[in-house]
Structure 1
Amino acid sequence: MFETESPYTILPQTGPHSAEVGHALITMVEPHLGHERAYNRWYEDDHIFSGALFLPWCFAGRRWVATRDLQQLRYPKENSIIANPVTKGCYLGTYWITAGRLAEHKEWSFSVYNRLVAEGRVNDNRDHVFTAFQDKVETVYRDGRVPKDVFTLMDPSAGLILEVVDAVSTEDRDVFESWLLTHHLPSRVKVYDSPVSSAMVFRTRKPDMAMSPELSERIGKIAEAANDPSRLTILWFFSKDPREAWPHFVAEAELIKASGLGNVALVAPFISSKMGTNAYDEMLRG
């Protein structure tokens, strides 16, 4: 018999409960040199569960990896606002959070992280390159046969591209966002033989002052990367290996700049990691 006063019976009865992507945690991380395998095993054997998928309202998660050849495709090559050098950040984590439940998810997340720190279950041999909670704006699909975005992390694509873009000013972000959704993305996705199955647009959020101790020490860098007044994130999901699809993206920065509304801060391809293995550990460095 369930306890009628237990929070586990009360909380599910109130608030949003829709089957849709409302928010995301998008986190690009660089393991320290020489610690790649230990970091990889810690993250996949413990942290992806205890620090993410165990948490309420986080209903899907996936890890992605950029091997050295994929890192070399990234741009802008010089003076990247996000990654310096631009090859920094060989692992990407993406997590979907139920619409309207981000605040509750973060409260649990910060509390859990404090517990993991106390238990010595945190690997400090890594740098957060681009880590931010984000709000989904809209998804553009290639056609009606493409699965909805709620499935993108459950049945992973052959690869994805993380693209971070900035409006020319804070005041112009809404106009820039509208242009992306009504013109740019459809012209890139809804075309014959497009390698892209779907593209999701997110608004970044500034970091919370209640973030975990480890992240709070780097709050300035994380806030700069989130740049919440004018920054947007696009996740492009592919039906083929991003190496094969790369010619589709070599002109992306020029197309964005030509709009007069924004600029590219980072374009970075990834492939899905082989969870539970060390398949790519030896392919991250030059």
Structure 2
Amino acid sequence: MNDARTDAIANGGATDDNVDSGPIRVGAMLFTLVDPTPGFEVAYNRWYERDHFYGGVMVGPGTLSGRRWVATRALKDLRFPTEPSGHSPVTNPIDAGSFLATYFIDAASVANHFAWASEEVHKLYAAGRGFEERTHAHTVLYTMRAAHHRDVAPIPAHLALDHPYAGLASIHVDRADGVSTTDLDAWLDGDGRDVVLGGGSPVDQVLSWRPIIPDREGPMDLGSGPGGKDRSLLLCFLDQQVEEAWDHLVAFSEAIEAAGIARVALTAPFTPAIPGTDTYCDQLF
């Protein structure tokens, strides 16, 4: 790995030809995985996409983009490990969480955005714009660490939520003793690159994150916590539907553990939600 790429990783920036180091850079992400109460699937879906998606995040300062994803019952059945493990499980039980929303926040506006968001959510609930019939499985803020791209002329990280990817896989890992976030990204950009981004890979890019550990605030229970200081999150953006790419993602997860880099806490697949429709609402449970 050349010095320029090593420096980029160490600074939490791009790893491919400075494609992610321009004036627009992802600084943080809100990752919110939620279950509607059975019987309220359609009502929740319409409230979230028609109001909360915008009023709760998108209109906030520095929001670059947002996208919603779905874990159907069939996709939940692919998750592994099959039982929650470690000191801080991501989902408990393993199949908790049906709707995922991911939002990217501009690096220059992270503090302003989350200061706004912490007040705005209380204002929305006070104005009757909340939704009680839901349960958060895992709602956590993450800091962007690095981007790892498959292609020579890659899609920049800040466009990942706008590009029409066919699927997404989230891989939460707990790094091994002595393995830093920089070490994890160096492995992804070095020895692990062929495993996840080699020829014919359905993974177009992998974005790595670390959780923001401080206490969370909100008018509702936000589900599982961010994990410890050894927790990292890898978001794999897919050119193929997740069912077609799943063997590759399993092999990638196994390679992380075999290399002694980290233990996989949860690998979970998602398909894109279809805006303006209630598609998948009858397939969640």
State the TM-score bracket (shorter-chain normalisation): 0.7 to 0.9
More helix by share: 1
1:140, 1:189 within 8 Å by CA — same for their partners in 2?
A: no
RMSD of the alignment, in Å? 1.9
Spell out the pairing of 1:123-162 with structure 2 (5 A cutoff): 123-162=131-170
Find the structure with the greater CA-based Rg: 1
| Map of 2:102 onto structure 1 | 94
Aligned pair 1:261/2:261, yes or no? yes
1:274, CA displacement in angstroms?
A: 0.3
| Map of 1:47 onto structure 2 | 52
| Map of 2:246 onto structure 1 | 246
Letter in 1 for 2:218: S
| Map of 2:200 onto structure 1 | 193
Of residues 219, 237, 240, the one that matches 1:213 is 219
1:39, CA displacement in angstroms?
A: 1.0
Give me the whole-angstrom Cα distance separating, in 2, the residues matched to 1:207 and 1:166: 18
Q: Secondary structure at the match of 1:40?
A: helix
Gaps of 5+ in 1: 1-16
Spell out the pairing of 1:1-286 with structure 2 (5 A cutoff): 18-80=23-85, 81-169=89-177, 171-174=178-181, 176-183=183-190, 185-209=192-216, 211-215=217-221, 221-223=223-225, 226-285=226-285
1:68, CA displacement in angstroms?
A: 1.3
1:239, CA displacement in angstroms?
A: 0.6
- Cα shift readout 1:69-100 (whole Å, capped 9, x = no counterpart): 11111101123422222111111111110113
State the aligned residue count.
261
Gaps of 5+ in 2: 1-21
Distance 1:151 1:253, change over 3 A: closer
Letter in 2 for 1:266: L
- Percent sequence identity is 35
TM-score using structure 1 length: 0.85
Give me the whole-angstrom Cα distance separating, in 1, the residues matched to 2:104 and 2:170: 15
- Cα shift readout 1:209-239 (whole Å, capped 9, x = no counterpart): 5x22224xx5xx543xx11411101100001
Give me the whole-angstrom Cα distance separating, in 1, the residues matched to 2:193 and 2:33: 26
